[in-house]
Amino acid sequence: MIKGTTKLLGVIGHPVEHSLSPAMHNAAISHLGVDFVYLPFLVKPGDLKAALAGFAAIGVQGFSITIPHKQAILPLLSEVSPIARAIGAVNTVYLTDKGWCGTNTDVEGFLAPLQTPPTRPYQGGAKDATSPLERGNTAVESDSAPYETGAVESCPPPYQGGARGGSDWSQKVAVILGNGGAARAVVAGCAQLGCAEIHVVGRNEQNLGEFQQSWVNSPMPVQNLQIHTWNNLSRLISQADLLVNTTPVGMYPQGEKSPVAAGEIDRISAGAIVYDLIYTPNPTQFLKDAQLRGARAIDGLEMLVQQGAAALKIWLNKESVPVDVMRQALRQHLGLD
């Protein structure tokens, strides 16, 4: 029950009515029995600065960010974590004594299904500047331990193990389809895993070049990143231990489409992991095609759940939250159960 003492969390975007975040976060809040509520807030692009001031005035504790504010909010924050600077986008904001602080939990969300046993994710955030998460942000900026900070996240049972049967990624090859904002989080995640090679495939050579250059002086430099145009995809797929779709191809209502032609997906190795960031439809045509050829599939719903769980831990200052409850709430909301 919402009371005068109830603390506010939420998500901002334009539009925002499509967001699935309220369903999963309020399910977790109810399960935990904490006095919080998570609400959607429609914020027009020109109103972002005013919204932040209003949130501070009414005591909002933190919020998620969706399109179109993930980049625009960066200069308005008191602090931005190294991983959010590296990705160039913020998806989670939390309030501290210093003001609004931004981070990005997409890397942690992407990594969670791939890690067995769970390893220390690259990035977290916390309200207490002396906490391990906040100390982790400082360590990221040093040369000694660039990718070993953040909170430990549980790995859900359906997705145990790494590509081709192991959790050691030091000899593995990752191939990423697309070079937009989502691809940046995936590149950061593959660097955290320690992949031997990271290949990004895109349509536009100039955009690909800018994408690669942006990592050179990044807070999280990626030395083993290679870029390719789409005509190299067939060769790369045959080498891939991890193939990730970050493009919108195959998203509802065009669920019959796949970013990879049937003749190219035939080259995927049995046991390779094929990961689609799209969660509607579930599974996508891309994942169905890959599974028919012996690949292991991970859908975008799991990343959505895990990045949300990482954010909720920050806002509630808890080491764990009910990930299973969040996942089940989303599956029911989407009519998957």
- The residues assigned a catalytic role are 70
Residues sharing a CB contact under 8 Å with residue 143, sequence separation 6 or more, in sequence order: none
Round to whole Å and give the CA distance between 200 and 211: 9
H/E element, 229: strand 225-229
Here the tokens at position 164 are 């081709």
Q: Are strands 99-103 and 92-96 parallel, antiparallel or unpaired?
A: antiparallel
The number of residues in the chain equals: 337
Q: Please give the DSSP secondary-structure letter assigned to residue 164.
A: G
Amino acid identity for residue 105 in this structure: T
Residues sharing a CB contact under 8 Å with residue 57, sequence separation 6 or more, in sequence order: none
Q: Could you give the 3-state DSSP secondary structure of residue 102? A: strand
Round to whole Å and give the CA distance between 136 and 196: 24
Alpha helices by DSSP H, listed for 21-68, are 21-32, 48-58
Amino acid identity for residue 324 in this structure: D
H/E element, 79: strand 79-80
C-alpha 239: how far from its chain's center?
24
Here the tokens at position 3 are 């009371």
Exposed / middle / buried, residue 131 (Cβ in 10 Å: 0-12, 13-18, 19+)? middle
Round to whole Å and give the CA distance between 327 and 155: 13
End-to-end C-alpha distance for the chain, whole angstroms = 27
Angle between helix 323-333 and 300-316 (nearest 10):
130
